[in-house]
């Protein structure tokens, strides 16, 4: 699952520089239009944070434009009692996979994390994207506590 979403994670964490955009566009030809990459990235970041606004963004990407090629992206499987979504491109396929595990789409709690958007591998309650970010945040909390409490007697 995580490998399927690696391009979306990369896009969500994409920097603002023209070089970063060019590198992403070259590595993932046709995933987004180079002129739309930052706009798609920003909307993806909002979607990642969840809420009703995320519902609207996901609906627009999966069922409306700008990526929509066909007007029918789903079909009914009456025997199974479900709707089967048919993505029109790789971006929609990846976004649909993200939707299925949206409870694990997280933003790292470390304020200065260089790549804060991640998929929690096994714990829905994960707050940090890596052990490095967790250790850094823990060290910062300890420093803050020490600064506020040093010299106080129990």
The residue range of the domain holding 30 is 6-149
Position 77 pLDDT exceeds 80: no
In a domain, 21, yes or no: yes
In a domain, 56, yes or no: yes
Q: Convert the pLDDT of each residue in 28-41 to its tens digit.
A: 998 888 789 999 99
Q: Convert the pLDDT of each residue in 85-142 to its tens digit.
A: 888 889 989 999 999 889 999 999 998 899 999 999 877 789 999 999 999 988 888 8
Compute the average pLDDT of residues 58-82.
Answer: 70
Report the pLDDT value the prediction gives residue 7, as an integer from 0 to 100: 94
Q: What is the CATH number of the domain that holds 79?
A: 1.10.3300.10
In a domain, 41, yes or no: yes
User: Three-state secondary structure along 79-122?
Assistant: CCCEEEECCCCHHHHHHHHHHHCHHHEEECCCCCCCCCEEECCC
**What is the DSSP-derived secondary structure letter of residue 122?**
S
In a domain, 154, yes or no: no
In a domain, 1, yes or no: no
In a domain, 39, yes or no: yes
> Predicted confidence band at 69 (pLDDT cuts at 50, 70, 90)?
very low
- As for how many domains the chain has, the answer is 1
At 20, is the secondary structure helix, strand, or coil? helix
Q: Residue 98 is encoded by which pair of tokens? A: 């993200």
Compute the average pLDDT of residues 54-72.
Answer: 70
């Amino acid at each position: 699952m995580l490998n399927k979403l690696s391009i979306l994670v990369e896009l969500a964490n994409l920097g603002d520089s023209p070089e970063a955009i060019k590198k992403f566009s070259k590595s993932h030809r046709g995933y987004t239009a180079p002129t739309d990459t930052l706009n798609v990235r920003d909307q993806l970041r909002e979607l990642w944070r969840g809420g009703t606004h995320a519902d609207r963004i996901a609906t627009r990407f999966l069922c409306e434009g700008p990526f929509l090629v066909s007007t029918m992206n789903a079909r009914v499987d009456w025997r199974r009692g479900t709707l089967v979504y048919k993505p029109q491109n790789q971006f929609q396929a990846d976004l649909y996979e993200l939707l299925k595990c949206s409870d694990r789409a997280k933003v790292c709690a470390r304020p200065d994390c260089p790549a804060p958007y991640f998929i929690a591998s096994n714990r829905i309650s994960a707050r940090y994207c890596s052990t490095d970010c967790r250790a850094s945040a823990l060290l910062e909390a300890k420093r803050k506590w020490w600064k506020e409490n040093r010299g106080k007697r129990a």
